[in-house]
Amino acid sequence: MSAVSEYVGNIKEAVTSIFEGMAVTASHFMRKPYTVQYPDRMPVRVQDTLPFRYRGILEVDLEICTGCLACERACPIDCIVIVVDKDPLTRQMLLSQFDIDIAKCMYCGLCSEPCPTGSIHHTTEFEGADYSLESLIRRFVKDPVMAYKPKKGPETDPQIAPILNRGMTYLDQWAQPGGEKPPAEEEPA
């Protein structure tokens, strides 16, 4: 008797489970696909939809780079090469080379953490495909430029202030554990 009930039970189980499975897939058939149709057929660029803390290709704002070499020392695979000279006449720091080898970079973000001004930072750009390794080395210094010298008070130069502001915001958010931008708060005295 148990064999018969097992036989009938098997049929019942097969029919009901296929019935439920078909119902589940039918409900999926009527849902919207999740697919993001990169790179075209997007209402906005993919780069603009990425979170602020996304670790894309590195970029350097030379206007606020102090030439402190903190990022070069932090880089675990030495993909950053910086050359800083002291101008013998004006006795100022001159940046004569700032190269980042994107082919070597592993997007760990260790360089952007110690930067005092937020000059070196990740962008949301990720389309780095290129035809040669040579062109993957990003050379940020074309002509030697003066390194940025932090002021005692707030920055007054109208050209540099917004860049520095952006860099400091980046640093603040980089230090946050969460992804969302925190509301601006007054520093406790």
Partner 1 sequence: METLVHNLIASGAFGKNASPHLVAAIVVFIMSAVVFLGVAFPFAGIVSWAERRVWARIQSRVGPNRVGPQGFLQWLADGVKHVCKEDIIPDESDAPLFKMAPYLVMLAFTLPWAVMPFSSSLILADLNVGILYMTSVTALTVVGVLMAGWASNDKWSLIGGIRSAAQIVSYEIPAGLSIFPVVLMTGTLSMQGIIRAQGWAPQHWFLFANPFTFVAANILYISALAEGNRTPFDLPEAESELVAGFATEYSGMRYLFFFMAEWGNLFIIGAIIATLFLGGWQFPHIIKSVVAMNILEAITFNVKVLFLVFVSMWIRATLPRVRIDQLMTLCWKYFVPISFVNMIGTAVWVAIWPDGNSLMRYLMLAAAIALAAVFTQRVIYYLRRSRMEVYFNPTI
Residues 139-168 within binding reach of partner 1 (CB under 8 A): none
User: In the beta sheet, which residues pair with residue 81?
Assistant: 99
Residue (24 or 189) nearer to partner 1, CB: 24
Residue (23 or 106) nearer to partner 1, CB: 23
Residue (16 or 176) nearer to partner 1, CB: 16
DSSP the chain: -HHHHHHHHHHHHHHHHHHHHHHHHHHHHTSPP-----SSS-SS-HHHHS-TT---SEEE-GGG-----HHHHH-TT--EEEEEEE-TTT--EEEEEEEEETTT-----TTTTT-SSS-EEE-S------S-SGGGEEE--SS-EEPP---SSS---TTTHHHHHHHHHHHHHHH-SSSSPPPP-PPP-
Residues 10-49 within binding reach of partner 1 (CB under 8 A): 10-11, 18-35, 37
User: Please, what is the minimum distance in Å from the beta carbon of residue 43 to partner 1?
Assistant: 13
User: Please, what is the minimum distance in Å from the beta carbon of residue 46 to partner 1?
Assistant: 16
Residue (11 or 161) nearer to partner 1, CB: 11
User: Please, what is the minimum distance in Å from the beta carbon of residue 125 to partner 1?
Assistant: 25
Say if residue 164 is exposed, middle or buried (CB neighbours under 10 Å; 0-12, 13-18, 19+): buried
Size of the site for partner 1 (CB under 8 A): 21
Residues 71-90 within binding reach of partner 1 (CB under 8 A): none
User: Please, what is the minimum distance in Å from the beta carbon of residue 42 to partner 1?
Assistant: 13
Residue (46 or 161) nearer to partner 1, CB: 46
Question: Is residue 5 a contact point for partner 1 (CB under 8 A)?
Answer: no
Residues in contact with partner 1 by CB under 8 A are 10-11, 18-35, 37
